Amino acid sequence: MSRIKTFNLPDLGEGLTEGEILAWLVKVGDTIELNQPIVEVETAKAAVEIPAKWAGQVQAIHHPEGATVEVGTPIIAIDTDPGAGPLEAPSTTATPSGDLPTPSAASLAAVEVAPAEGMIEPGLIGGAAPGGRTAVLVGYGPRTTAAKRRPRKGAVPAQAEAPVTPAPVAPQPVTPEPVRNGNGGPVTGGLVLAKPPVRKLAKDLGVDLSTLTGSGPLGSITREDVQRAASGSVAAAEPVAVTSTATSAASFGADREQRIPVKGVRKLTAENMSRSAFTAPHVTEFLTVDVTRAMKALERLRGRREWRDVRVSPLLLVAKAVLLAVKRHPMVNSTWAGDEIVVKEYVNLGIAAATERGLIVPNVKDAGRLSLRELADALNGLVQTAKSGRTSPADMSGGTLTITNVGVFGVDTGTPILPPGESAILAFGAVREMPWVHKGKVKVRQVTTLGLSFDHRIIDGELGSKFLRDIGDFLADPEAALLAWT
């Protein structure tokens, strides 16, 4: 059995097909242990560290950092028995340019690699031919020499590198090229290019157009040229061509564009949002709520001894309101499965998070069974992990219902798009002080706006409205709602 094992990029879950190598955690020659992290890979969901399948010594790294590799592609070679003696010509890491060194024939022969699917048998078109050549169709082989053109009859062959010299021409007297109009025709009467309104302006201001150098198209005189001449900034035409600043600034080419590759989290988000937007019929409803009592309840909660070391935010109460509303309206927590609707008795509560790599939606597993303190700890841990870029694919799979907290950006609300497989998503807007009618008088109260998008195949208007109303009732008076519903 070969001592060299080739480690292929594994499927990190949910049908991922490729990953980008962010960083190698080992280098050629390092001794590694079983399950030791060897590489950090960014998939379409998150950045994850991949552990080694074998202990041993790193012999080769097949792809440099920044490369996008398909699942199943070899990424590293490991010598599982380095004590058996040195290998002949071990491979090294990639060069700075990204090119990898050519391994020796002995090291290649020692590596165990499963045959690729669809491999072409020797002798067939595209396969190996005798002598190490590649079998190709006649006339379609690789060109090894430069193309040659048959000389024309009577033509004198030119030297390979000699420049073509034109035949000598007798010097001709140089005559000034006549000024031409926009159609390419000569301008008669010694006139220069200028539109009638410009000519009238020059006449009114007493400016001789023949003394000016035009900055317009084809050297035409513009109103600005005439006005500058009249003000004394340009006294006469100069024999030097001047490029218009306005013309040079108005460039709309590739030098003023930025092209960002669509990959990783951004690519998955685009695919998911497009699929959801054009598959599930979305409906969005809005509700503005006085949350003054909820904000006071948070203050009292922060003051309790057992909560002083816990970060408590309005999102915690919104999450609790959603979980209680789901218990009252279970159909909201379901999935459309074609011929049936799957109603789930567990709530994997997703929290949309904006990260440097794009939008991700990790979820708190079985959030409905957690106490308020456990829910607070889970939300805080989820957010911190997302900000550090360490969210695992498992944390982002299996979501059943989502909250997006757009209020942190100062936005009142929105019309969020459903994550694929979910039937509802709630947008939580900013909490603002606003005039509000409270007990018959206009007072300044703390107010927010909720936006609920739902799949109209599953949730009709009545169910969606009741669900949103219950969330609003809890936020308006959380103590009374807890007493009434639990």
* DSSP states along 116-173: PTTPPPTTSTTSB-GGG-B---TT-SPP-S---PPPPTTPPPPPSSPPP-PPP-----
Question: Residue 11: how many CA atoms within 13 Å on its side-chain side?
Answer: 5
The C-alpha atoms of residue 302 and residue 319 are separated, in whole angstroms, by: 17
Question: In what helix (H) or strand (E) does residue 51 lie, and over which residues does it extend?
Answer: strand 47-51
CB 41, CB 50: distance < 8 Å: yes
pLDDT at 191: 54
Q: Cα separation of 385 and 373, whole Å?
A: 18
List the chain pLDDT tens, one digit each, 486 residues: 678 899 998 877 655 678 888 889 999 989 999 989 999 888 766 678 889 999 999 999 999 988 888 888 999 999 988 887 766 654 544 544 444 555 554 444 444 444 444 444 444 434 444 444 444 333 334 444 444 444 444 444 444 444 444 445 444 544 444 444 444 444 444 557 887 778 878 888 888 888 888 888 777 888 888 888 888 744 444 444 444 454 455 677 777 788 878 776 677 777 777 777 777 888 999 999 999 999 999 999 999 998 988 989 999 999 999 999 999 999 999 999 989 999 999 999 999 988 777 788 899 999 999 999 999 999 999 988 888 878 887 888 899 999 999 999 999 999 999 988 899 999 999 999 999 999 999 999 999 999 999 999 999 999 999 999 999 999 999 999 999 998
SS3 267: helix
CA distance 163 to 159: 8
Q: What is the pLDDT of residue 157?
A: 47
Q: CA–CA distance from 108 to each of 59, 77, 86, 366 (Å)? A: 11, 11, 15, 49
For residue 291, the 8-state DSSP code is: -
N-terminal to C-terminal alpha carbon distance within the chain: 64
pLDDT value, residue 276:
77
Helix H or strand E encompassing 225:
helix 223-231
Give the 3-state secondary structure of residue 42.
strand
d(CA 485, CA 323): 12
**Residues with catalytic roles:** 456
User: How far apart are the C-alpha atoms of 182 and 468, rounded to whole Å?
Assistant: 66
58 CB-near residues (< 8 Å, 6+ apart) = 26, 27, 28, 29, 30, 32, 38, 76, 77, 78, 79
- Cα 341 to chain centroid distance, Å, stands at 33
Q: How far is CA 412 from the centre of its chain?
A: 25
- Threshold 0.85, pTM exceeds: no
Residue 165's φ and ψ, nearest 5 degrees, are: -105, 125
Buried residues in 68-78 as b, exposed as e (16+ CB within 10 A): ebeeebbbbbb
What span, in angstroms and rounded, lies between the C-alpha atoms of 349 and 322?
9
Strand residues in 268-377 grouped as ranges (E): 282-290, 334-336, 341-343, 349-351, 353-355, 358-360, 363-364
Q: What is the pLDDT of residue 14?
A: 55
What are φ and ψ of residue 222, in 5° steps? Answer: -110, 170
